[in-house]
Amino acid sequence: MHIYAFVSVRKLLFISTALAAIFASYSNVAQAITAKVNNFTNSNWLQGIWRQSAGFSIPSNAANQAAFVPGTSVRFADSQARKITMAFVLENSMSVYVDGAQLDGNTVGYPNFVSTGTTTDAAPTAQVANPINLVGVNLAGADFSGTAYPGVYGTQYIYPGESYFKKYADMGMKLVRLPFLWERIQPTLNTELQSAELARLMQCLDYAQKYDVKVILNLHNYYRYYNKQIASSEVPISAFADFWQRLAQKVVNHPAVYGYDLMNEPHDTNGYWPQAALAAAKAIRTVDENRWVFIPGDQWANAYYWPNFNNRLIANPWMRDPNNNLVYEAHLYIDEDFSGTYTNHSEAFDPMLGVSRVKPFVDWLKQNKLRGYLGEHGVPDYSPSAMVAMDNLLNYLGQNCIPMTYWAAGPWWVNYPLSLDVDSGAARPQLPILQKYARNTSCSMIGPELHNLSKITAIDDTHAGQIYRLYQTAFDRLPDEAGLDYWIDQMDAGVSLQRVAQGFINSNEFQQRYGYATNNQSFISMLYMNVLNRQPDPPGLAFWQNRMAQGVPRAEVLSAFSESSENKANAAKKALSQ
């Protein structure tokens, strides 16, 4: 985050009682998405409520598509709660089906609203054998008072204690980015690390190991050392590389180390950051060949403007080699100036703002077949719309297997609106959202670089997994790389799975396979045989015949078969055998 002179954080004053009151008034909104039931009535619908079974229709905007997914609880105008079983998008409307008895359109239909449950109602995700941690926190403190060199420990800066590692591990967030200052751990360039400061850092690693937490070590210096830029005569690039080699030598055998985060938010680097990053990464590789090296982008690592400033970062082929285990790191805040200061307390945020701001970074990663990580993102506790935007952002990151660490947590934050730890003890609306996505166990590798062609996509609940299964459902084959990449990009841009399925149906390959299925019964029977490898059971056949007779299109049926639990199990078995 852009805090240049973090003079003792205890001096940061916030009106905690006012924030608590604001949070209390908005807490319910912050944890739910509300949609108005569509206004139409015909032989199948009564004021937007399905007449034949438990279902309803709402607008198919991006926020609704992200929120109203199978497994999520919803609450209707009469206060009854149901769980979503299926959801399909058709042009501007979204049909959502729930468990239980038929709904009463006169009671819960238009002009009433329906809301998702709290953000703790996460949709289930497929679990891989060794899932990565997709959600973590920045445990700040050692980076405080950044202009006090070296500063007085316990007065001007602090390392997080054991309780913080336990707290977030217990919440399922077992990834920690640990910021610290270069001047404190190496007061003089090209010399041994300061023993007391190194001991504090090692103590944090011991705490992390105790609770099975992985730590990313972050040099929080903004491309400066005693306020002198790297690549200057006072701070040569060789000294920067020397520091990382020395630190790697000290921690290489510690099991809690997840990776090395070269520099927090480099900016105004005069074009030297690519050269400095390359030298430091190579220096680490002389000591540690395996752990991740996190490469932040120039100009504050801004995710939205990433492609404008960071193509030179990968000009050297070594920085693109997947065998070097490099991860590119962006930061993202959704306030109007991208700074994370959130000075305008009345600012309202579009539900998809986080997604739109991170997408240029993700697209750049995909284009260059690289891995990515969102090192910082945070939202203020007083803004319900910011919570919705963060929820959608984390969903999108999870779809692409991109980990993130929330800014911030740890000691001394007083009542900072972004912090997960505040003196007032007020509930933190950010936490349920983080915990929701911390339970995502569908990714075995940092993405998106290796995700598209991984066998694990057969059981992922990501866009990659959905497209993988649709290829096998429609064509009974593995996806080709170009086709897989194309359709994943389409879904990342907001195209629904049903629209993708319609594209498959329109293809020559599909027509050759299914073209002779001239009626609904033949089409359904062929899906059972080609997708589930069995004859249709009478109740299943009758169900789908009835649905298609009521106007459900073949694309919706195809996508439903593709995403059925039976097909997911079959796809997983097939993937393991290939």
Q: Tokens standing for 393?
A: 């952002």
- Asked if residues 456 and 376 have their Cβ atoms less than 8 Å apart, the reply is no
Cα atoms in the 13 Å half-sphere on the side-chain side of 398: 31
Strand 175-180 and strand 135-139: pairing?
parallel
Tell me the C-alpha distance between 102 and 52, whole Å: 7
Q: Does the annotation count 183 as an active-site position? A: no
> C-alpha 332: how far from its chain's center?
12
Annotated catalytic residue 265: yes
In the set 183, 197, 329, 376, the catalytic residue is: 376
Contact 164, 208 (CB under 8 A): no
* Cα–Cα distance, 68 to 275 (Å, whole number): 46
Distances (CA, A) of 404 to 135, 237, 325: 5, 28, 17
Residue keyed to tokens 């002389």: 286
Amino acid at the residue 139: L
Q: Which residues contact 414 (CB under 8 A, 6 or more apart)?
A: 9, 10, 12, 13, 14, 16, 422, 423
Residue 488 to residue 500: CA distance in whole angstroms: 10
Distance CA 243, CA 249 (A): 10
Under 8 Å between Cβ of 505 and 555: yes
Alpha carbon 325 to its chain's center: 20
Q: Which of 183, 265, 449, 556 is catalytic?
A: 265
Q: Got the DSSP string for 161-226?
A: -HHHHHHHHHTT--EEEEEE-HHHH-SSTTSPPPHHHHHHHHHHHHHHHHTT-EEEEEE-STTEET
**DSSP string for 304-351:** TTHHHH-GGGG-SGGGG-GGG-EEEEEEE--STTSSS----TT----T
Task: Pull the structure tokens for residue 382.
Answer: 């007083």
Report whether 196 contacts 157 (CB < 8 A).
Answer: no
DSSP class of residue 451 equals T
Active-site residues, by number, are 265, 376
